[in-house]
Structure 1
Amino acid sequence: MPVLERDPWRFQYFEHVPCPEHVIIPTDDPDCWLLYPRHAWVYDKLRIAGTQGLDAGPHGVAPRSFPVFSKPIVNLRGMGIGSRVIISAAEMDHHYQPGHMWMPVLAGDHVSTDCAVLDGRILWCRQATGVPWTEGMFRHWTVHARPAPELEERLAGWVARHMQGYSGMMNFETIGGVIIEAHLRFADQWCDLYGEGWVEALVELYASGRWQFADGGRRDGYSVPLFARHGQRYTHPPAALQAEVRAMAQVTSLQITFHEGKPPEDHAMPPGGFRLAVINATSLNAAHAARRKLAEAYPAGLILHQD
């Protein structure tokens, strides 16, 4: 398999693509940290804020004004773990946490951008925007067919200044065009929505330093999670139900995003809910219908309904 994938529910995207044995393509931040020590500094969110001139600092340094957004300086597990808005100096003192930072509360679209990078130059990128829900959860993500010229130009400039010598995929999370996170990988949740031949182009980038992808057939895609309440131990839906959901019109993939044999509290999940699955589709209505069908595998009182 060409990709170093820790989540077995995403093997489906990569296991049938040929790849030279020496090629390693990471999808998980801890692996990226080890594989690219020269560029692992991008996981320091306080440093990322500094590259953009943002007013930010570690806990223990008082913000000049409130509210601020607080989060871990380094979080290699994602899912918004430990993040919160802090509205006063008293609340800041109460929630003091070593290894955490504060920065401005940003406004605007929350965008995830995957980029193919060759020696500090962006050769390809694609945006996805999330519709936030509550407590770190998203209602869904839209993988957009249309480009985002202003954001792409801003990211290209940042990469040119800070990522010389790096080749591979990068993922940026931005709010209102401001980088809040950078990763030395791509978002493997929806790479099937990028189009036929994208994974092959990914392998070629890491194998030979070339990016060759026919990207003219873009269409919007949707990635929709199914969340349930915390505090329960869940089992996977029956195989027949999974097959039925995968066969539904316009559904491109189904991921069951948890390990049955692992305690629920050992999964990296947002504070608001436990993510049972992700459904990718080329129609939002189709994704919602597939989510409702999949939810039938669980007691209704445990499902967090989003429609």
Structure 2
Amino acid sequence: MPVCEADPWRLQYFEAVPCPADVLIPTEDCDAWVWYPRANWIYDKLRIAQSQGLDCGPHGIVPQRFPVFSKPIFNLKGMGVGSGALRSLAEYEASYTPGHFWTELLTGDHLSTDCAVVEGEVRWWRHTTGKPLGSNGMFDYWTIHGEGRPALEDYVGSWVGRHLADYTGMLNVETLGGRIIEAHLRFADQWPDLYGKGWVEALVRLYAGKRWDFPEEGQRRDGYSVVLFGRHGRHFRHPPADLQRAVRAMPGVMSLQITFHETKPPEDHAAPPGGFRLAIVNTHDLEAGFAARRRIAEAFAPEDLLWPEGARPHALATGAL
């Protein structure tokens, strides 16, 4: 198997692709930190801000202007825990946290971008945006865009060339308003099937042969990754195997992930504050993704599910999120 994958529901994308035994391809930041010591400085978000000339500093250095955005300098496993805007000196002083920093508050488009890098040159890009579900860190679905973002690619490509000149591998950058807010020495392993036929094989060539060769022509189009959320504090069981097979066979469905362990306590899963991820449907047809989500939802108690406004199936209509 070519990819070191911690989540068993994502093995489906990689297990059939051969790879040399000595090649390690990370999907976890903790692995990437160990395997790429010359480049792992990028997990220092304060340094990322400084490298772009943003107004920033560690807690203890008082901002000269407000609002600012505060978050941990390092946060390999905790997602966005402990982050938030500080709008006044009083808020800043009340929120002082060792190991955190602040940076100027950026606005604009929020994107996640996967990049294939060969010796500091980006050879391939895909950009993703998320549609929020409520205000507690959840996303209803992600759009994996077929179109490029030339201005953003110029900016990020120049930054990579300056700061990662000797790096070869995948890079994921999160940007806000055209500026990098964090970076990862890996790719987004939730939707590689939406990148096109042969992409995983190209991924292996990148790490095994230090080259990027992906015959993408004619494959690039929008994709969608649609999420089903449940409520925190419940104990869930996997949907029956026959229902999972039926969903995977639905028109337009590329893949189905059941994104939790039955035998692991729910509180031990990585999940946003607002809800517990139960399933993800990948598709190139958004309506097909919604239909598949409604079908897999039949395996769970209606009162345990969270739905976007107007999306709750009529048969389950007991109040919207």
CA shift in 2, pair 1:220/1:31, >3 Å: same
Alignment of 1:147-296 (within 5 A): 147-216=148-217, 217-296=219-298
Q: Once the two structures are aligned, what percentage of the paired residues are identical?
A: 62
Q: One-letter code of the match for 1:46?
A: L
CA shift in 2, pair 1:235/1:63, >3 Å: farther
2:91 corresponding residue in structure 1:
91
Distance 1:293 1:88 in 2: 47
Residue aligned with 1:292, SS:
helix
Task: Provide TM-score, normalisation by structure 1.
Answer: 0.96
2:115 corresponding residue in structure 1:
115
CA contact (8 A) 1:108 1:175 kept: yes
Distance 1:78 1:126 in 2: 24
Deviation, 1:241, is 1.6
Question: Structure 2 regions of 5+ residues with no counterpart?
Answer: 312-321
CA contact (8 A) 1:81 1:269 kept: no
Deviation, 1:52, is 0.8
> Which stretch has the larger CA shift, 76-85 or 14-23?
76-85
1:72 corresponding residue in structure 2:
72
Distance 1:144 1:131 in 2: 13
Task: Provide TM-score, normalisation by structure 2.
Answer: 0.92
Q: One-letter code of the match for 1:303?
A: L
Q: One-letter code of the match for 2:286?
A: L
Deviating above 6 A after TM superposition, structure 1's stretches of 4 or more consecutive aligned residues are none
Deviation, 1:77, is 1.7
Over the aligned positions, Cα root-mean-square deviation in angstroms equals 1.3
CA shift in 2, pair 1:78/1:220, >3 Å: farther
Residue aligned with 1:253, SS:
strand
Deviation, 1:85, is 2.3
Deviation, 1:78, is 4.9
Residue aligned with 1:3, SS:
coil
Question: Structure 1 regions of 5+ residues with no counterpart?
Answer: none
Deviation, 1:167, is 0.5
1:2 corresponding residue in structure 2:
2
Q: One-letter code of the match for 2:235?
A: R
Distance 1:29 1:104 in 2: 25
> Which stretch has the larger CA shift, 28-37 or 268-277?
268-277
Distance 1:82 1:291 in 2: 31
